[in-house]
């Protein structure tokens, strides 16, 4: 006893250990812990074999679990739990020891949320990709109800978030499909109007047909010119046969010239100009069709992705219904506190000895 009086820090250490042991063993209120282990899964919907990664992006795997964890620990979740389970009244009940209970049912939400984080623990096992949820309450019913409601509200929130994003994507692409459909209609109408204006279904085919006609006329002209050359060896240019043959040659040359002018000239409705303009309109219509087809494919892929945005919480371990309290861990807490108190007393003793040596 004299040593304790001489070194009061040992007395303080002993009193602190006794008081803390008495509090942990007698006064502290039991807390019941309900646990559950969950993973997030999506429907196995096969998407079309197209790459829409730049359009449809989102989190997956541990990313979704981290989003779920953040929501479970949020103020919004606390408000839902309080509204349905009356957590403020439960945690601030007068039969709970002073140091364990919530200091008043009317505390600001910030302090209530801080207390909530000390009673709810959500950890992500990155190796197994599993979310482990623990909820503490001062009776087994409330603890089990908390974990059950956390699962229900968490799943609803993830589905709402995913579906909202998917719905916006579908609406955006549907608007683009409508715009591209109008663009395709305009391009086709322009093509039809051009065909009707020039009374040609296919200018390219008309050019090919005229080229064949000109080639035939030139073949016939070559034949007549050969006949004229052969006939000129026996008859004069003024003979009836030569005059008739020359007239046929002149007629063929005039016809060939007219056909060539139809195909190509610097002014008017030459077929080469009509063909170029027609092919431009045709390419525009084909490009509009390709865009419209791609947009339809993307729309279908987005609808499939919208179904895959649904998140289902797969429960690996259902919320447990605790049969006895596991918190606080009295022996562990007392042991740790005693070690720390003794360590503090040792440090005080060493400091006192050092000061005494310096005084001497």
DSSP string of 100-166?
TS-S-TT--HHHHHHHHHHHEEEEEETTTTEEEEEEEESSHHHHHHHHHHHHHHHHHHHHHHHHHHH
Rounded (to 5) percent helix, strand, coil in the chain: 70, 10, 25
Q: What is the pLDDT of residues 77-87, one digit of tens each?
A: 999 999 999 99
Asked whether residue 317 carries a pLDDT value surpassing 60, the answer given is yes
Q: Look at residues 180, 200, 183, 182 and name the one whose alpha carbon lies nearest to residue 277.
A: 200
**What is the DSSP code (8-state) at residue 95?**
T
The fraction of the chain above a pLDDT of 90, given in percent, is 23
Give pLDDT tens digits for 194-234.
767 766 656 666 666 667 777 787 788 788 778 777 777 77
Using one digit for the tens of pLDDT, what is the confidence trace for 318-349? 899 998 888 888 899 999 999 999 998 888 88
Distance CA 288, CA 292 (A): 6
Q: What are phi and psi of 34, to 5 degrees?
A: -110, 135
Q: Is residue 220 packed enough to be buried (19+ CB in 10 Å), middle (13-18) or exposed (0-12)?
A: middle
Percent of the chain past pLDDT 70, that is, above it, reads 80
Torsional sign, CA 45, 48, 51, 54: negative
Q: What is the pLDDT of residues 12-38, one digit of tens each?
A: 888 899 999 998 888 889 999 999 998
User: Is pLDDT at 181 greater than 50 in this prediction?
Assistant: yes
Please give the Cα distance from 208 to 205 (Å, whole number): 5
Does an H or E element contain 27, and which? none
Cis bond leading into 16, ω under 30°? no
Distance of CA 164 to the CA centre of its chain: 11
> How far apart (Å, rounded) are the C-alpha atoms in residues 143 and 136?
6
């Amino acid at each position: 006893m004299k040593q304790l009086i001489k070194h009061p820090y040992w007395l303080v250490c002993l009193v602190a250990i006794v008081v803390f042991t008495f509090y942990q063993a007698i006064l502290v209120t039991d807390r019941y812990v309900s646990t559950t282990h969950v993973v997030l899964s999506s429907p196995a919907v096969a998407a079309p074999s197209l790459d829409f990664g730049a359009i449809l992006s989102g989190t997956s795997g541990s990313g979704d679990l981290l989003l779920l964890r953040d929501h479970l620990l949020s103020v919004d979740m606390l408000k839902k739990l309080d509204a349905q389970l009356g957590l403020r009244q439960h945690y601030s009940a007068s039969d709970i020891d002073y140091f364990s209970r919530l200091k008043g049912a009317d505390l600001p939400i910030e302090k209530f949320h801080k207390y909530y984080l000390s009673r709810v623990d959500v950890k992500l096992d990155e190796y197994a990709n599993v979310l482990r949820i623990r909820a503490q309450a001062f009776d087994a019913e409330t603890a089990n109800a908390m974990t059950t409601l956390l699962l229900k509200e968490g799943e609803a929130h993830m589905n709402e978030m995913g579906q909202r994003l998917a719905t916006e994507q579908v609406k955006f692409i549907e608007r683009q499909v409508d715009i591209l459909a109008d663009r395709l209609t305009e391009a086709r109408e322009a093509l039809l109007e051009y065909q009707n204006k020039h009374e040609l279904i296919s200018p390219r085919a008309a050019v090919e047909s005229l080229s064949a006609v000109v080639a035939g006329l030139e073949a016939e002209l070559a034949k007549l010119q050969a006949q004229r050359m052969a006939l000129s060896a026996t008859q004069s240019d003024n003979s009836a046969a030569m005059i008739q043959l020359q007239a046929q040659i002149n007629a063929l040359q005039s016809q060939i010239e007219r056909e060539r002018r139809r195909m190509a000239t610097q002014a008017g409705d030459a077929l080469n100009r009509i063909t170029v303009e027609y092919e431009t309109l045709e390419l525009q219509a084909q490009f509009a069709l390709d865009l419209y087809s791609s947009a339809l494919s993307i729309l279908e892929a987005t609808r499939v992705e919208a179904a895959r945005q649904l998140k289902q919480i797969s429960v690996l371990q259902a919320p447990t219904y605790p049969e006895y309290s596991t918190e606080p861990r009295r022996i562990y807490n007392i042991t740790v506190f005693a070690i720390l108190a003794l360590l503090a007393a040792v440090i005080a003793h060493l400091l006192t000895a050092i000061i005494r040596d310096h005084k001497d």
